[in-house]
Amino acid sequence: KQEVTQIPAALSVPEGENLVLNCSFTDSAIYNLQWFRQDPGKGLTSLLLIQSSQREQTSGRLNASLDKSSGRSTLYIAASQPGDSATYLCAVSKETSGSRLTFGEGTQLTVNP
Amino acid sequence: NAGVTQTPKFRILKIGQSMTLQCTQDMNHNYMYWYRQDPGMGLKLIYYSVGAGITDKGEVPNGYNVSRSTTEDFPLRLELAAPSQTSVYFCASSYSIGESWKGYTFGSGTRLTVV
C-alpha cells in the first residue's frame, strides 16, 4: 500500500526566505506526482504536476523536483510572501490516467511579514 | 465556467440520519471522485467514477454510496450517519482519454458534522 509522508508538518518563516517542503512515498512505481495548495475553508488548487519521466517542473517562484528511485519530491518556494501561507499537499498516482491520488498529510506553511 | 460545484457547504446530521452530498461539474470531465479529509490529515478516496454508469470503491467506501447517471453529476449518499463520518468532503474531477490528460479540479468542500 502506498504511503505518502510530508515533512515538516508545520513551518513558520519570515517573509523573503527561500524554503523547501519535502514529500516521500513508499512505492516508486508512480505515474505522476502533484503538489496542491489548500487555503483554510477552501478546496485544493493544483500547483505543479511532475510526470514520472520528468525530474522537475517550475511555475513562477515554485520549483518541484522528483527522484522516483528514492521515492522523494521537494517543493522549493523562492522569496516567500505572506500570501504563500497555506497548507501544501503532495499526492501520487499509479495510473496512466492520473486518477486515484494518494495524499500526504500536508505541510502547513506560515510566512510572517 | 463554474468548475466543480458542491452543495451544501455545511451540514449537521444526527446519528442515524441520511443525506446526499451533491456534486456537479461543467467541464465535461470523464473522471469524478469523492475524497474525505479529517482534521490535520490528507485526503482519502471514498469512491470514484471513470464515466457515466461506472463507479468503483476507493480506500474508505464503507458507509457511503454513489451513482453516476450523467457525466456532470456524482452524488454521494450517506446512510445511517455515524460520528466517524464527521469530516470535510471534497468532490473532484479530471479528464483522461488516451494521451490527453487534464489535472484535477476540486470543489470547495462540504463540512459535515454528525452529532
Q: How many angstroms separate the Cα of A13 from the Cα of each of A9, A75, A85, A90, B20?
A: 14, 15, 10, 20, 41
pLDDT in tens, B5-38: 999 999 999 999 999 999 999 999 999 999 999 9
Q: Is the peptide bond before A8 cis (omega within 30 degrees of 0)?
A: yes
Q: Is A23 an 8 Å CB contact of chain B?
A: no
Query: What would the grid cell of residue A88 be?
Result: 501544501
Query: What would the grid cell of residue B37 be?
Result: 479529509
pLDDT category at B39 given cuts 50, 70, 90 is confident
Residue A43: list chain B partners with CB under 8 A.
4, 90, 106-109
Provide the shortest C-alpha distance from residue B101 to chain A (in Å): 7
Q: What is the DSSP letter of A71?
A: T
Q: Tell me, what amino acid is at A3? A: E
pLDDT in tens, A59-79: 999 999 999 999 999 999 999
**Contact (CB, 8 A) for B78 and B21:** yes
Which residue from A minimizes the CA distance to B111? A41
- Which parts of chain A have pLDDT scores under 70? 98
The partner residues of B94 in beta bridges, in order of sequence, read B31
pLDDT at B2 over 80: no
Q: Tell me, what amino acid is at A47? A: L
Inter-chain contact B31–A89, Cβ cutoff 8 Å? no
Helix (H, G, I), strand (E, B) or coil at B76: strand
pLDDT in tens, B60-103: 999 999 999 999 999 999 989 999 999 999 999 998 887 667 77
Query: What would the grid cell of residue B25 be?
Result: 461539474
